[in-house]
Amino acid sequence: MTAARLVRATLLTGSAGLVAVGLASIVLTREADAQASRPIAAVVVNPTPAFEVPEPMRFDPATETSRWASVRHEAPVVAAPSATSAVVAHLDARTPEGTANVVLVGRYHRDRTGQLWRRILGAGEDFAGGWAWVTSEALGAGGVSHARLIIDRRALTATLERSGRVRFRAPIGVGAPETPTPAGRFYIRNTLTRYASPRYGPVAFGTSAQSTATEWPGGGFIGIHGTNRPELLPGRVSHGCIRMANHDIVRLARQLRAGTPVVIL
């Protein structure tokens, strides 16, 4: 406190006021000295973090979240995230049906040269061994799926689950013993109405599963479609494709989207 303020305080409050002001000045000065002598870590108590890492979530197959991406341009697919790795497949921007191609995507990896790679699951027999890698720039926009379609070849049912809850179930036809529907993890590539007919029903889905015996017009891939022979369902009656009654495929079409994983048991 300056001398002028002390004089003013004395005139206004008298000697008692001067004593109180003086004591307050001493306390403030001591606190300021103590604060200045503290290390910075002691002065900044419980700072608000700029970024907090949440607790890891446990993986639950019943509620798994899958990501998919469109294919921006043609690109080689390699076994490992490296430019020197063996090419195991080739990624096309369009499907055999002429629609935009999509793939399931996993984690990223940046190699020593700075190249960013993305782990993917694509379509066809080249991906029968599982996931492979493609450069990140070969992929475009995509999305997230909280659903999966389960094809049970023993129970002859198709079940759509979303966030762990059953949203759809229907009896199906699958491949005959000599032309079986392949087992594995696949996904929906497209929704099609161009094949609407008594044979394929009002709507169909193209999958990433492939079989050379299938009658699917897209080049040997497994389709999910309707039929004009619902009396054959459930049964093992096809060349590999998955058939269901027309009213069921229409119900499914209201919920099923490209990029949804398909598990064939």
Residues with a catalytic annotation lie at 225, 241
- Do the beta carbons of residue 204 and residue 215 sit within 8 Å? no
Distance, CA of 135 to CA of 89 (rounded, Å): 13
- Nearest by Cα to 186 from 79, 104, 115, 111: 104
Is the backbone of residue 178 left (phi > 0), alpha (psi -120 to 50) or beta?
A: alpha
Distance (Å) of CA 165 to CA 63, 87, 161: 8, 39, 5
Q: Which tokens in the block code for residue 172?
A: 């199906």
CA quadruple 19, 24, 27, 28: dihedral positive or negative? negative
Distance (Å) of CA 107 to CA 219, 235, 242: 30, 39, 31
Instruction: Render 121-147 in DSSP notation, one character per residue.
Output: E-SSGGGTT--EEEEGGGEEEEEEE-E
3-class secondary-structure state, position 160: strand
103: β partners: 69
Distance, CA of 220 to CA of 190 (rounded, Å): 15
* Count of residues making up the chain: 265
161: β partners: 148, 166
